[in-house]
Amino acid sequence: MDFTNNTSFHTLVHRTALQNDIIATSLMCKIMYDVNEEGEATISEAQDWELHQEYWVSEYGPMDKDDVYKRGGVDIMLFGSAKAPKGKTSTESKVIIEVNGTVIHQLKIFGERVWKSFLGILRISAPEPFSEIPLTLHNAFGGYYNWDGIDIPYPTNPYGKGYYHTKQDAIGKPLPNIEHHDNRVKKWNSWLEPAGTSSLPILPLKAKNNLELNPDKTKIEKLNAKFFNSAFQEMIIDHINPGDIITVKGVTTNGVYNFHTPNTELDIAISLGTKQIEKKMAIDQIGLIPDKQKAFVSYRLPFKYVIKPMEKRQMSLSISA
């Protein structure tokens, strides 16, 4: 199928061959927005966040790929740093994400801490003051330890910190800066899922939350479509509409960051021989970047068609007037 992009936005076409000459196709489009202090979004002149077929690394850490057919909901992702209030320093804070006034996710943020030993008992040191803490997987629970020259990663976050093999290994070593607000690290050998708001390119964690195996654990019985999402599980919502307001607390020095979901409409025209189909793309992901007063919205249209010999197949993307 030929594709024509009549916009200035980045696009990506996913194609998968199914049985009986059926092709599953998904068109993705990403738009960068400038966000003012009131949360109103206007299309940015610089469209500098591309779509990626493979896993990649950004200034905000490891990133998931975009090349999937369909997701099990809308991803809300938050990039940047947690900030101490009023431009001062703090030893701990919170990050709270709301959609239309309803809290969907909360994090507890700490300054640097280490495990201290007193009479053989490990205790957590008082957190050091901070002005900001990057909201990346590197500051969430996880990491790896070295065993006989081999690095053993924490299955659900090899990038993080706080995972230790022995009590001795933990002494003087750091704890994560980012924790679940209701499930905190209490022991040196805690075994917790990482907490965060960024992109989540970790397949073992996605599998843990979205796959159901048979009793013998030899076969997948059920696959939740959220396996293909890129956000943390708590930040995947069923849908979002133009005009919906996302509010984030704890990431600016002067209060809150608001984002009013824009009403940009993207039109898809599909030609299959003599058959003409017109569709509109739906919101697939929202990425919030408060540090830069920006955000992106990714749009997607998945569909299937049957290949017929000698039939002309075309697809074009335009922005509504």
Rounded-to-integer distance, Cα 289 and Cα 34, Å: 10
Maximum pairwise Cα distance, the chain: 81
CA 307 to chain centre: 34
Q: What is the pLDDT along the chain (321 residues), one digit of tens a residue?
A: 999 999 999 999 999 999 889 999 999 999 999 999 999 999 999 999 999 999 999 999 999 999 999 999 999 999 999 999 888 999 999 999 999 999 999 999 999 999 999 888 999 999 999 999 999 999 999 999 988 889 999 999 999 999 999 999 999 999 999 999 999 999 999 999 999 999 999 998 998 899 888 888 788 888 899 999 999 999 999 999 999 999 999 999 888 999 999 999 999 999 999 999 999 999 999 999 999 999 999 999 999 999 998 899 999 999 986
